[in-house]
């Protein structure tokens, strides 16, 4: 009797354990957990400081923004349901009234005001403070209306309103240093844990105002090495990665178990020519340089085809991109003729500065081509911090660099080509000046009508390209990859993993 | 204070404690010196933290505002003094880039670095020391040749290559171990092996060459003449005397490993302090650079102290007067 009772009990215990184990296994299998491998770890999760890609790709999941934009850079409201523009210096935003922060407190206009008031406060030390200087005041007539008044008309202004809204009550109590590690937002995912160097773990926000995500948990793992990152995807350790090596693109595109996502990036790589320094103070010399860049060959051989040949400073997917500009297609004879014309028949010596290995390779290609017309190139590779400091002093004549985040044409043109922005006032480091360009850029900056702006930018681009203070090489592509199990997910060139809000895992 | 040899005094030191306290006190001026040097060197090299923080479109005014908000516009002496005063109180400052406190971040990452360094040290002691001994005792045998070729390979193969090859073979093709990241023991094997290869090679070579020297000494001949067993001669009389050099090399290598292992961290996505230190340097993130280097210096000093204490244990003639 006794022994049979004991055996029944132990059988029951066994069944219970088995059931528990089963439940656990099934539970794991059912849970929609996604692991994402990223090339760099986030630095901070306070969105007001998170201007680097690695941080922004996390904050865009945790926080909600006033606005976002789509693939073609058309503004799409998120927290704002309507944007009114009563005059060209005033923006009125009507907010949704059904948005709550992750701690249950309602998001109101006061939080929006607080977020942007801190960003434009010099004592706060936001890296992007320069984008908010035009704001004169932010007012909140009621809980769901925000009125921003600008000092002068500023058409691209809306493109800087993509910062996650922080909860005022929480931020004022704890301060930015604390938020950096313990963010609370109103976004699709709730922050759970950050194990520095290992991962950031987020879970779905069931009360997200656009509907709870279908993915239960997202783990964002920094995997800095591109080979390791790719192998993690291939072996199923992660379901998506943010960046793959150009060299791997073709191989992975053939792999049926991997979806490669390619799209134009947000910038361009170019050769910088200081327009106030001989010999580059002569536009013919700059144009000769432009004719000597084998763009297609560089894209094919150095980028393994992952990139688009570039002719203008406006990215190709932008509404302001003007394809009909002087192309300066590779032509040694025309370059030679221009140099002869400029009195440099026997060439000259230049130093090309670079700060990374891929750009040194580009410089080596140019070195060979330039030699054909007697231009002797010395390549100088320096760490970016040192090179950049010299550049801001106006001490660099030629370098190969890249601009990124050129989402609005104003960012790409006004700050780099308007003569008001000569260093140190702005980013016109090549000290380019053209009165007509200044007029066009001023007009485009203050006119809210996109059609008018498009025409103004078209003319400006033609002049800027023609005068070749920059020589454009290529537009890099953003290349990410994912497992086919992750559906409804496209890597977004501007908001990175934002599709995880609506993606599903099969 | 270097350990001094006192022939004939075999008694255990009563002065050990005061020796340790003394050494600990000596660390203070050393650390001050290191931090002073590092601080002014960062400011000497070209590149400005405020410039690097601001976006490239920034105007001079933007850069100035950022500089002021972060307190980088104050005289260097003031900034350094404030940093030292903070460290004394346990506040190692706030990272310029990460906008988070430096010390907690370092302490979060330190265990990963320490466990990896210790694992690779363990590997090299367990594998390389015996290999070195065998290699020396059976000089020019096939075993010696294998060990020597192995150590040459270990020294010559670049770390990143070894790491990627291990990942390809063990994690990708065989799928025995996870590719990367930190977790259980299984996550540590490949990084520790990768990190251990050059350390093993180094330790094996030193063990071998020291042993070759030792086994030619008179007292070894005496031991053999007494009729002691060969294993006693080799391990008790030979190896014990060779261990001083081995301990020195292991200590130094461990110090380097604790100073971060950028490449292994990169290849295996392992969360150590090495990559953090490297990136902070590129970004001119002064508080973070100061923090990581202060920690490296501290660890190095401690390891040196421990190695010196181990000398005394290995060789009773060494005293800490």
Return the structure tokens found at B43: 């400011």
Confirm or reject contact between B254 and chain A (CB < 8 A): no
CB-facing half-sphere around the CA of B239: CA atoms within 13 A? 17
CA B140, B145, B146, B152 dihedral sign is positive
Radius of gyration of chain A (CA): 27
Looking at residue B155, which CATH number applies to its domain? 1.10.3720.10
| Nearest by CB: A231 against B45, B69, B172 | B172
Alpha-carbon distance of B225 to B223, in angstroms, equals 5
pLDDT band at B262; cut points 50, 70, 90: confident
Residues A360 and A448 in one domain: yes
Query: How close A33 comes to chain B (CA, Å)?
Result: 17
Testing the interface with B: which of A126, A131, A225 to mutate, by most B Cβ within 10 A? A225
User: Which residues of chain A have a CB within 8 Å of the CB of B181?
Assistant: 198-199, 221, 223, 237
Residues A396 and A439 in one domain: yes
Judgement on whether residues A341 and A455 belong to the same structural domain of the protein:
yes
Return the H-helix or E-strand segment holding A486: strand A486-487
From chain A, the residues in CB contact with B276 under 8 A are 197
Token readout for A244 is 């793959």
Report CA-CA distances (Å) from B192 to B122, B125, B185.
9, 13, 10
CATH number at residue A368: 3.10.105.10
Please indicate whether, in this complex, the C-beta atoms of B276 and A197 are within 8 angstroms of each other.
yes
Which of the residues B91, B100, B270 would you substitute to probe the A interface, choosing the one with the greatest number of A C-beta atoms within 10 Å?
A: B100
How close is the nearest chain A Cα to the Cα of B283, in Å?
Answer: 7
Q: What's the CATH code of the domain at A491?
A: 3.40.190.10
Token duo for residue A469? 């203070």
- C-alpha distances (whole Å) from B160 to each of A334, B175, B190 are 46, 20, 12
A180/B167 Cβ within 8 A: no
- pLDDT tier, B7 (very low <50, low <70, confident <90, very high otherwise): very low
- Give me the domain span that covers residue A254: 2-62+187-263+478-505
pLDDT at A73: 81
Evaluate if residue B5 carries a pLDDT over 60.
Answer: no
Residue A500 neighbours by CB under 8 Å, 6+ apart: A34, A36, A61, A188, A189, A213, A215, A218, A489
Number of compact structural domains in chain A: 3
Of the partner residues A37, A122, A224, the one whose CB lies closest to the CB of residue B69: A122
Judgement on whether residues A291 and A338 belong to the same structural domain of the protein? yes
The predicted model gives B104-130 an average pLDDT of 91
Residue B57 lies in a domain: no
What range defines the domain where residue B222 resides?
A: 110-315
Pair (A259, A277) in one structural domain: no
Classify residue B100: in a domain, yes or no. Answer: no
Integer Cα distance of A468 and A282 in angstroms: 10
A209 lies in the same domain as A241? yes
Instruction: With respect to residue B103, please indicate whether it lies within any of the assigned structural domains.
Output: no
Question: CB distance A122–B181 less than 8 Å?
Answer: no
pLDDT, tens digit (0-9, with 9 covering 90-100), for B162-197: 999 999 999 999 999 999 999 888 999 999 999 988
How many domains does chain B divide into?
A: 1
Any residues with CB less than 8 A from the CB of B104 and at least 6 apart, and which? none
Q: Do A224 and B100 touch (CB under 8 A)?
A: no
Q: What is the CATH number of the domain that holds A119?
A: 3.90.76.10
B18 located within any domain: no
Here the ipTM equals 0.85
For residue A386 the two structure tokens come to: 């040192």
- What Cα–Cα distance (Å) separates residue B209 from each residue in A29, B21, B94, B245, B247? 56, 35, 48, 10, 14
In Å, how far is B175's CA from the nearest CA of chain A? Answer: 8
CA angle A107–A111–A112, rounded 5-degree value: 105
* pLDDT tens track, chain A, 506 positions: 444 545 555 666 666 565 555 555 444 445 789 999 999 999 999 999 998 889 999 999 999 999 998 877 888 889 999 999 999 899 999 999 999 999 999 999 999 999 999 999 999 999 999 999 999 999 999 999 999 999 999 988 999 999 999 999 999 999 998 999 999 999 999 999 999 999 999 999 999 999 999 999 999 999 999 999 999 999 999 999 998 888 899 999 999 999 999 988 899 999 999 999 999 999 999 999 999 999 999 999 999 999 999 999 999 989 999 999 999 999 999 999 999 999 999 999 999 999 999 999 999 999 999 999 999 999 999 999 999 999 999 999 999 999 988 888 998 899 899 999 998 888 999 999 999 999 999 999 988 888 999 999 999 999 999 999 999 999 999 899 999 999 999 988 888 899 999 999 98
Q: Is residue A70 within 8 Å of residue A273, measured between CB atoms? A: no
Task: Report CA torsion sign: A447, A452, A453, A456.
Answer: negative
Is B29 part of any domain?
A: no
Q: B70 and A384: CB-CB below 8 Å?
A: no
Q: What is the 3-state secondary structure (H, E, C) of A183-196?
A: CCCCCCEEEEEEEC
**Do A329 and A460 lie in a common domain?**
yes
Residue A360 tokens, joined: 């040194």
Residue A173 lies in a domain: no
Q: Whole-angstrom Cα distance, residue A348 to residue A376?
A: 6
H or E segment at A365?
A: helix A357-371
Classify residue A335: in a domain, yes or no: yes
Does residue A176 lie in a domain region? no
Q: Which two tokens stand for residue A500?
A: 């995880």
β-pair type (A217-222, A33-38): parallel
Chain B residues touching A390 at Cβ < 8 A: 46
**DSSP states of A284-337:** HHHHHHHHT--HHHIIIIISTT-EEE--SSS-TTSTT----S----S-HHHHHH
Confirm whether A389 is domain-assigned: yes
Instruction: Name the residue with higher pLDDT: B124 or A17.
Output: B124
> Which conformational region is residue A356 in: left (phi greater than 0), alpha (psi within -120 to 50 degrees), or beta?
beta
Alpha helices in chain B (DSSP H): 16-44, 49-53, 60-69, 76-88, 102-123, 129-137, 142-156, 159-166, 185-214, 218-225, 230-232, 240-258, 262-268, 274-282, 286-314
Closest CA of chain B from A381, distance in Å: 14
A106/A58 same-domain check = no
Given a contact cutoff of 8 angstroms between Cβ atoms, the answer to whether A191 and A44 are in contact is: no
**A174 located within any domain:** no
Co-location of A87 and A36 in the same domain: no
Residues, chain B: 321
CB-based burial, A351-379: b 16+ in 10 Å, e otherwise: ebbbbeeebebbbebbbebbeebebebeb
DSSP string, A24-56: HHHHHHHS-EEEEEESS--S---TTT--SHHHH
Residue B268 located in a structural domain: yes
Interface probe, candidates A46, A385, A412, A421, chain B, greatest B C-beta count within 10 A: A385
Does A274 lie in the same domain as A205? no
Position B10 pLDDT exceeds 80 = no
Strand locations in A320-466 (E):
349-354, 376-381, 398-403
| The predicted structure's pLDDT at residue A26 | 47
Instruction: Count A/B contacts: CB-CB distance under 8 Å.
Output: 150
B269/A392 Cβ within 8 A: no
DSSP 3-state assignment of B16?
A: helix
State how far the alpha carbon of A249 is from the alpha carbons of A139, A246, A258, A315, B316, in Å. Answer: 49, 5, 11, 22, 63
Among B98, B100, B178, the residue with its CB nearest the CB of A237 is: B178
Distance set, CA A165 to CA A47, A60, A256, B98 (Å):
8, 10, 40, 19
CB within 8 Å: A237 and B61:
no
> How near does any CA of chain B get to the CA of A459, in Å?
22
The predicted structure's pLDDT at residue B318: 79
Q: Does residue A430 sit in the same domain as residue A362?
A: yes
B9, pLDDT greater than 60: no
Is residue B124 in a domain?
A: yes
How far apart are the C-alpha atoms of A340 and A375, rounded to whole Å? 12
pLDDT in tens, B206-243: 999 999 999 888 988 898 888 888 888 888 888 888 88
* Same-domain status, A315 and A251: no
């Amino acid at each position: 009797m006794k022994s049979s009772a004991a055996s029944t009990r132990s059988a029951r215990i066994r069944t219970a354990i088995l059931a528990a184990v089963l439940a656990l296994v099934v539970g794991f299998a059912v849970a929609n957990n996604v692991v994402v491998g990223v090339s760099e770890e986030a630095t901070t999760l306070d969105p007001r400081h998170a201007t680097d890609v690695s941080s922004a790709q996390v904050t865009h999941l945790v926080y909600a923004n006033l606005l976002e934009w789509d693939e073609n850079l058309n503004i799409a409201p998120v927290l704002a349901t309507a944007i009114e523009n009563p005059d060209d210096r005033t923006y009125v935003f009507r907010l949704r009234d059904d948005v709550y922060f992750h701690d249950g407190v309602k998001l109101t206009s006061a939080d929006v005001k607080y977020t942007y008031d801190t960003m434009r406060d010099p004592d706060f030390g936001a890296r992007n403070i320069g984008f908010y200087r035009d704001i004169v005041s932010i007012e909140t007539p009621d809980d769901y209306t925000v009125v921003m008044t600008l000092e002068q008309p500023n058409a691209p202004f809306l493109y800087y309103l993509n910062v996650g809204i922080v909860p005022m009550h929480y931020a004022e109590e704890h301060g930015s240093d604390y938020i950096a590690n313990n963010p609370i937002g109103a976004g699709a995912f709730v922050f759970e844990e950050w194990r520095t160097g290992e991962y950031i773990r987020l879970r779905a926000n069931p009360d997200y105002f656009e509907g709870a995500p279908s993915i239960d948990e997202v783990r964002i793992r920094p995997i800095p090495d591109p080979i390791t990152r790719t192998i993690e995807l291939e072996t199923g350790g992660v379901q998506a990665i943010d960046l793959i090596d150009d060299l791997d693109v073709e191989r992975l595109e053939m792999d049926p178990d991997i979806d490669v996502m390619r799209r134009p990036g947000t910038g361009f790589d170019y050769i910088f020519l200081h327009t106030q320094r001989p010999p580059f103070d002569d536009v013919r010399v700059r144009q000769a340089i432009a004719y000597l860049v084998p763009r297609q060959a560089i894209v094919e051989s150095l980028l393994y085809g992952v990139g688009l040949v570039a002719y203008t400073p406006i990215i190709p997917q932008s509404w302001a991109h003007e394809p009909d500009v002087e192309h300066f297609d590779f032509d040694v004879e025309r370059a030679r003729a221009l140099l002869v014309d400029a009195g440099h028949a026997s060439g000259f010596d230049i130093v090309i500065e670079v700060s990374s290995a891929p750009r040194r390779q580009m410089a080596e290609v140019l070195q060979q081509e330039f030699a054909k017309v007697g231009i002797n190139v010395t390549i100088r590779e320096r760490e970016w911090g040192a090179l950049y400091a010299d550049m801001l002093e106006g001490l660099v004549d030629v370098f190969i660099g890249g601009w990124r985040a050129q989402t609005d044409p104003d960012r790409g043109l006004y700050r780099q080509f308007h003569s008001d922005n000569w260093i140190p006032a702005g980013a016109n480091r090549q000290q380019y000046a053209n009165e007509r360009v200044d007029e066009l850029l001023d007009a485009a900056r203050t006119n809210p009508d996109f059609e008018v702006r498009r025409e103004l930018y078209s003319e400006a681009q033609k002049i800027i390209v023609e005068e070749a203070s920059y020589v454009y090489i290529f537009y890099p592509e953003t290349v990410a990859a994912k497992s086919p199990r992750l559906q409804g997910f496209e890597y977004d060139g501007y908001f990175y993993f934002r599709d995880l809000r609506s993606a599903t895992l099969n | 204070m270097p350990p001094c040899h006192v022939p004939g005094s075999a008694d255990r030191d009563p002065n050990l404690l005061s020796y340790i306290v003394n050494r600990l006190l000596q660390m203070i001026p050393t650390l001050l010196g290191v931090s002073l040097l590092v601080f002014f060197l960062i400011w000497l090299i070209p590149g400005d933290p405020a410039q690097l923080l601001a976006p490239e479109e920034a105007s001079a005014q933007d850069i100035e505002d950022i500089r002021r908000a972060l307190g980088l516009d104050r005289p260097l002496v003031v900034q350094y003094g404030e940093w030292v005063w903070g460290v004394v109180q346990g506040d190692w400052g706030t990272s310029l880039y990460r906008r988070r406190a430096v010390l907690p971040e370092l302490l979060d990452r330190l265990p990963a670095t320490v466990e990896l360094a210790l694992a690779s040290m363990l590997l090299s002691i367990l594998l390389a020391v015996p290999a070195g001994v065998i290699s020396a005792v059976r000089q020019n045998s096939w075993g010696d040749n294998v060990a020597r070729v192995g150590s040459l390979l270990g020294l010559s193969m670049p770390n990143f290559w070894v790491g990627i090859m291990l990942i390809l073979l063990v994690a990708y093709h065989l799928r025995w171990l996870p590719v990367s990241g930190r977790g259980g023991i299984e996550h540590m094997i490949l990084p520790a092996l990768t990190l251990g290869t050059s350390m093993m090679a180094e330790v094996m070579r030193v063990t071998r060459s020291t042993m070759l020297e030792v086994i030619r000494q008179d007292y070894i001949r005496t031991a053999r003449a007494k009729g002691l067993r060969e294993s006693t001669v080799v391990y008790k009389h030979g190896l014990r005397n060779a261990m001083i050099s081995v301990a020195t090399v292991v200590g130094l290598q461990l110090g380097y490993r604790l100073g971060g292992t950028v490449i292994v961290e990169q290849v295996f996505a392992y969360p150590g302090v090495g990559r953090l230190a490297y990136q902070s340097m590129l970004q001119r993130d002064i508080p973070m650079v100061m923090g990581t280097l202060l920690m490296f210096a501290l660890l190095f000093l401690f390891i040196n102290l421990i190695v010196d204490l181990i000398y005394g244990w290995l060789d009773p003639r060494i005293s800490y007067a």
